[in-house]
Amino acid sequence: MEKFATVDADGLRARVEQLLAEHDPAGDRLAFLQARFDAGLAWVHYPPGLGGLGAPRELQSVVDDALAAAGAPDNDPRRIGIGLGMAAPTILVHGTDEQRRRWLRPLWTGEEVWCQLFSEPGAGSDLAALGTRAVREQDSWIVNGQKVWTSMAHEARWAILVTRTDPSVPKHAGMTYFACDMTAPGVEVRPLRQITGEAEFNEVFLTDVRIPDEYRLGDVGNGWRVAQTTLMNERVAIGGGAAPRESGTIAAVCRTWRERPELRTPAGHAELMRLWVEAEALRLTGLRLRQQLAVGAPGPEGSAAKLSYARLNQAVSGFELDLLGDEALRYDDWSTGTWATKRPAAVDFLARSPGYRYLRAKGNSIEGGTSEILRNIIAERVLGLPGEPRVDKDVPWKDLPK
């Protein structure tokens, strides 16, 4: 990847001025986002030609702040979070030039939503156990299998997909990574109901789906390494975002605290203070993580951020429920429509009720790697403690008990 450190904050501000002079931020939203991408102001640390300028990553806020002040549209990162947080960095590192040019622009503008076809009924935490088969047929691969818990599959145009291409070698060695066209014949998306009452994720059945070899990311058999890039970035995307002080769920509960003096108690005050401080510590850790990212790929620190985020979000949403008492039990989403038609296009904690926040936060300690698995990663890779015994390391995948 190209890296230029020659673009500084003033240079970026000048480029933003030029973009605003040439493209009306109040005009067509998509046209503006496309122009922003083409000006290298989408993700400034990406290479020129791919929405960036090879600038230091931490200068992104210079662009974002200037454009927000001018009332320019943003690219709605919640709806396209999987594309931005996971697919894009994977395509950037492992894709060919052709693949990067084809996929990154519509991904960033939100024209094409991406989902992640990783988990299977028998392969979640142990992702390398997966059994979805891809068999080569001339210039294509024929894919058969079932994926599960696929967020946003009902909205997605593309998926990142990990498959088994060689069952005769140990599980980590026989996997290959693809981009899958979700509109291809044989891709079937079925809603799965969540504790919130909605169906934000899905089962995805793949039956004789033909994937051209040109959609392969990385070498045949190298899918595990490519998937590691995705997973490392996933943890940072979930847990290490740059956020202003007192934002997210802690902002919602602080607002209630300020506006509703009748709910306050000394014990509640102590608890809120404790959670606020924890949220601030996590926010600052996230900032440090992003600074580290400016000089390299995410490391296992992202796992610590994701673990803390999940724990804190559950604690804060639980506190909000206690604070509001019966009032918090009012929950609107069960009463109207059927669950299969309630298919959110984004997980938006702040736009929803305290009841929703509490229920949806339960998934935070499962999605993107469970808290138990993240603790294992921290123990082994950060603290250097002895690893779990891995008895299946050298056994061919086909001989593993299923």
**Any idea which residues carry the catalytic annotation?**
234
Given the DSSP bridges, would you call strands 187-192 and 114-117 parallel, antiparallel or unpaired? unpaired
Binding flag, residue 370, ligand FAD (CB under 6 A) = yes
Instruction: Give the residue among 316, 152, 309 at the shortest CA–CA distance from 241.
Output: 309
CA distances from 137 to 100, 144, 231, 304, 319 (A): 25, 13, 29, 42, 55
Q: Which residue has the tokens 């009012």?
A: 330
Binding flag, residue 233, ligand FAD (CB under 6 A) = no
What distance in Å separates the CA atoms of residue 105 and residue 160, rounded to the nearest whole number?
16
Nearer Cβ to ligand FAD, position 366 or 378?
A: 366
Instruction: List, in sequence order, the alpha helices (H) in 8-144.
Output: 9-22, 29-38, 60-69, 81-82, 88-94, 97-109
- CB of 329 vs ligand FAD, minimal distance in Å: 22
CA distances from 150 to 130, 307, 356 (A): 15, 21, 20
Nearer Cβ to ligand FAD, position 56 or 83?
A: 83
Binding flag, residue 195, ligand FAD (CB under 6 A) = no
CA atoms within a 13 Å half-sphere pointing along the CA-CB vector of 338:
4
Dihedrals phi, psi of 163, to nearest 5 degrees: -130, 165
Q: Which of 192, 373, 378, 379 binds ligand FAD (CB under 6 A)?
A: 373
* 78 contacts 87 by C-beta, under 8 angstroms: no
CA atoms within a 13 Å half-sphere pointing along the CA-CB vector of 117:
35
Tell me whether residue 264 is exposed, middle or buried, using C-beta atoms within 10 angstroms of its C-beta: 0 to 12, 13 to 18, 19 or more: middle
Q: Please report, as residue ranges, which positions from 134 to 163 form the binding site for ligand FAD (by CB under 6 A).
A: 149-151
Binding flag, residue 52, ligand FAD (CB under 6 A) = no
- CB of 400 vs ligand FAD, minimal distance in Å: 15
Binding flag, residue 125, ligand FAD (CB under 6 A) = yes
Q: Which of 60, 116, 163, 229 binds ligand FAD (CB under 6 A)?
A: 116
Q: Which of 37, 118, 178, 257 binds ligand FAD (CB under 6 A)?
A: 118
Binding flag, residue 372, ligand FAD (CB under 6 A) = yes
Name the segment binding ligand FAD (CB under 6 A); options: 113-121, 210-218, 224-232, 247-255. 113-121
- Number of residues forming the site for ligand FAD (CB under 6 A): 19
Nearer Cβ to ligand FAD, position 52 or 363?
A: 363
Binding flag, residue 90, ligand FAD (CB under 6 A) = no
Among positive and negative, which fits the CA dihedral 332, 337, 339, 341? negative
Nearer Cβ to ligand FAD, position 118 or 215?
A: 118
What distance in Å separates the CA atoms of residue 192 and residue 131, rounded to the nearest whole number?
21
What distance in Å separates the CA atoms of residue 305 and residue 242, rounded to the nearest whole number?
12
Binding flag, residue 201, ligand FAD (CB under 6 A) = yes
Nearer Cβ to ligand FAD, position 146 or 370?
A: 370
- CB of 375 vs ligand FAD, minimal distance in Å: 8
Nearer Cβ to ligand FAD, position 98 or 388?
A: 388
CA distances from 243 to 96, 286, 293, 294, 376 (A): 32, 8, 16, 17, 27
Q: Which residue has the tokens 């599980």?
A: 171
Binding flag, residue 124, ligand FAD (CB under 6 A) = yes
Q: Give me the residue whose beta carbon is nearest to ligand FAD.
A: 124
Binding flag, residue 369, ligand FAD (CB under 6 A) = yes
Q: Which of 34, 60, 119, 163 binds ligand FAD (CB under 6 A)?
A: 119
Q: Which of 35, 363, 377, 397 binds ligand FAD (CB under 6 A)?
A: 363
Q: Please report, as residue ranges, which positions from 289 to 318 form the binding site for ligand FAD (by CB under 6 A).
A: none
Among positive and negative, which fits the CA dihedral 154, 148, 200, 345? negative
Contacts of 230 (CB under 8 A, 6+ apart): 86, 87, 89, 90, 116, 118, 160
Binding flag, residue 228, ligand FAD (CB under 6 A) = no
Nearer Cβ to ligand FAD, position 49 or 124?
A: 124
Nearer Cβ to ligand FAD, position 75 or 132?
A: 132
Name the segment binding ligand FAD (CB under 6 A); options: 114-122, 239-247, 334-342, 349-357. 114-122
Binding flag, residue 376, ligand FAD (CB under 6 A) = yes
The residues of the shown chain that bind ligand FAD, judged by CB under 6 A, are 115-116, 118-119, 124-125, 149-151, 201, 363, 366-367, 369-370, 372-373, 376, 388
